[in-house]
Amino acid sequence: MSILTTTDLGVAFSTESGTVDAVRGVSLHVEPGETLALVGESGSGKSTVALAAMGLLSGNATARGSAVVDGHEVVGAPETALRRLRGSTVSMVFQEPATALDPLTRVGAQIAEVIRNHGDVSASDAAARAVDLLDRVGIPSPAQRAKAFPFQLSGGQRQRVVIAMAIANSPKLLIADEPTTALDVTVQAEILELLRRLAADTGTGVLLVTHNMGVVADFADRVAVMLQGEIVETGGVEDVLLRPQHDYTKRLLAAVPRLAVAPAGAAAPVASVAPVASVDVPDGRHGAAPVVDLRDVSVTFGRGARAVHALQGIDIAVHAGETVGLVGESGSGKSTAARVALGLVKPTSGSVQLFGSDLRTARGRDRRALRSGIGVVLQDPVASLDARMSVAECIAEPLAVHRRGMSSADRRTRIDEVLDAVRLPRTLASRAPRELSGGQRQRVSLARALVLSPRLLVADEPTSALDVSVQETVLEVLRELQDDLGFACLFVSHDLAVVQQFAERVVVMRQGVIEEQGTTDTTLLHPTTDYTRRLLAAVPVPDPVLQRQRRAERLATLAAVDA
């Protein structure tokens, strides 16, 4: 019997401006021991389905249809009945481990609390079982770690604790809502491995909510694709990911940036075979002066014992017309490096040359002139545009700073030109940023960055907050514009697949130092450092067959390292 069955499930939210049907007619089932992945882009209603299955919908939501968990109807069930179900029969792993744990309670006590909520267990037995659970989720020296507070654990360890809480009462159904989205790829691979093992060991059914097709390929048995509140396609993971039927699934899969991987066992090219030596100098220093040149740059935040060495003697150069991808996991210093290039963070030591002059010694007019050659696109599509300005005012801001004498008619023309360039309709100019979608907002940011025809564009995770199909459009616009206008680009991203597609050279950073750099083809296909190799191996690819093989290889490599 299915552990979760929803029949014609619908959820409507009543909001200030009317009722919104977020989910319509969703019918799905999860069998014991099976993982069903619910995929879709933001706003598709996938998380709402997960919350409805636990009876955790917010107060302004009404559910219709039926959702049966282990024989118990959840829709319309009284709160007391739901409480008995939650945490024992069905439990949930949320996206953000930092907020899922109580910061003031030791993790062992938090797990013990879950155990005692649902069973008549003595405090000492519960504490012992909590240690046991920490061991099962792979936390080293669990007896000591049980006494730790959440802030003393890393993000990955915290997520392991959250999982320990979720499996504390051996649930029959585990709902995981984007369980690895907030984590780095190497940690993501470990967490997925853990979830897979736990599900296989105990025969737990898993409902996995995710937007990441690589995670689906790595973990799911079956897939349900959601679009605008409805399921458009269901099937086995290989059928859906390799032979999609519905147009939307095809589009979605086509938009996923794929990491090209070297065929297994292929030898790295011998140095002499490497193409055009002048381009292949590791840090790309060929003849002409670079557009931006960071030499031996260190950045330290804070002083004394609390000092954080964000960057430690890094060298990065970006030449005219080229794109350099800056990759690394969180805390690697990639964003700090971009901010140093922008002059927003002063280096503690080392020199920064922008267009051949030192930004630190330039003063007044010269400094402003240098700055007018930079365009900036930052990650957050919401925070990037001032909500109190119109789109036209946002785009015109650099003109207001650097072209004070420009007539308003000229300004108007220029705004229309850049709107055309980023493929947005001119009519958007008078709208408020609030009325735009995330992808449109990022294109407005791009338009603003390009309005002065910069020689250097610094893009810090410009597409990380966007859905894949939107990301594809934004990257395509960016690439076309770069071909037309020939600006150099420093492209910061945690997504290796995007960087591989987009950048000619790549710089891999880790904990404030550069691990390796070189042309994208060499570095990302035949990495020379273990770190880059591990990073690449951890990226899940959206092809279940290939991913299974990669996973086996990765585990074999890790086992070999341990041995």
Partner 1 sequence: MTAQLAPEAPGAASLVQPVASTGWRLAVRRFRHNTLAVIGLVVIVVIVLFCFVGPFLYPTDQTHTQLSQANLGPGAAHWLGTDAVGHDVLGRLMFGGKVSLMVGIAAGILATVVGTLWGSVAGYVGGWVDAVMMRVVDAGIAIPALFILLVISAITTPGVGGLIVILGFVSWLVPSRLIRAETLTLKNRDYVLTLRAIGGSHARAIGKHLLPNSVSTIVVAATFQVADAILLVAYVSYLGLGVQAPATDWGGMLSAGLTAAYSGRWWLIVPPGLAVILVVCAFNAVGDGLRDAFDVRGR
Q: Can you give the binding site for partner 1, defined by CB under 8 A?
A: 15-17, 20, 22, 40-44, 227-228, 251, 255, 342-344, 367-368, 370-372, 374-376, 378-380, 383-389, 394, 397-398, 400-402, 423, 432, 434-435, 437-440, 445, 448-449, 452, 458, 467, 469-470, 472-473, 476
Rounded least distance, CB 488 to partner 1, Å: 15
Nearer to partner 1, 143 or 370 (CB): 370
Name which of 96 and 380 has its Cβ closer to partner 1: 380
For residues 518 and 325, the answer to whether their CB atoms sit within 8 Å is no
- Distance, in Å, from the CA atom of 133 to the CA atom of 112, rounded to the nearest integer, reads 10
Are 20 and 205 contacting, i.e. CB atoms less than 8 angstroms apart? no
Q: Name the minimum Å distance from CB 305 to partner 1.
A: 20
Q: Which is nearer to partner 1, 410 or 476 (CB)?
A: 476
CB of 74 to partner 1, least distance (A): 23
Q: Are 452 and 399 in contact (CB under 8 A)?
A: yes
| Strand order through the sheet with 323-327 | 374-377, 456-460, 488-493, 323-327, 505-510, 513-519
Query: Tokens at residue 70, please?
Result: 């282990």
Q: Answer yes or no: are the C-beta atoms of 284 and 503 closer than 8 Å.
A: no
Q: Which residues contact 23 (CB under 8 A, 6 or more apart)?
A: 9, 10, 11, 45, 48, 49, 52, 229, 230
> By C-beta, is 45 or 544 nearer to partner 1?
45
Nearest distance in Å: CB 80, partner 1: 30
Q: Which of 42, 170 has the CB closer to partner 1?
A: 42
Tell the smallest beta-carbon distance from residue 95 to partner 1 (Å): 16
Spatial contact of 312 and 510, defined as CB atoms under 8 Å apart? no
With contact defined as beta carbons under 8 Å apart, do 216 and 241 qualify?
A: yes
Report the C-alpha dihedral over residues 94, 544, 329, 491, rounded to 10 degrees: -120
In 406-510, which residue ranges form alpha helices assigned H by DSSP? Answer: 408-421, 438-450, 468-485, 496-502
- Compute the least distance from the CB of residue 395 to partner 1, in Å: 12
Nearer to partner 1, 93 or 395 (CB): 395
Nearer to partner 1, 324 or 466 (CB): 466
**DSSP H or E run through 512:** none
> With respect to partner 1, which residue has the nearer C-beta, 88 or 440?
440
Tell me which residue has tokens 């030791």: 106
Q: Which residues contact 280 (CB under 8 A, 6 or more apart)?
A: 274, 518, 519, 522
Phi/psi region, residue 533 (left: phi>0; alpha: psi -120 to 50; beta: rest), is alpha
CB-based contacts of 96: which residues, under 8 Å, 6+ apart?
Answer: 182
For residue 447, give both structure tokens. Answer: 């338009």
Distance (Å, whole) CA 168 – CA 111: 7
Smallest distance, partner 1 to C-beta of residue 156, A: 27
Shortest Å, Cβ 302 to partner 1:
13
Nearer to partner 1, 30 or 50 (CB): 50
Nearer to partner 1, 4 or 489 (CB): 489
- Shortest reach from residue 405's CB to partner 1, in Å: 16
d(CA 228, CA 230): 6
Residue closer to partner 1, measured from CB, 306 or 388: 388
Q: What is the H or E stretch that residue 309 is in?
A: strand 308-318
Kindly state the smallest distance separating residue 303's Cβ from partner 1, in Å: 13
Q: How far is the CB of 455 from partner 1 (least distance, A)?
A: 12
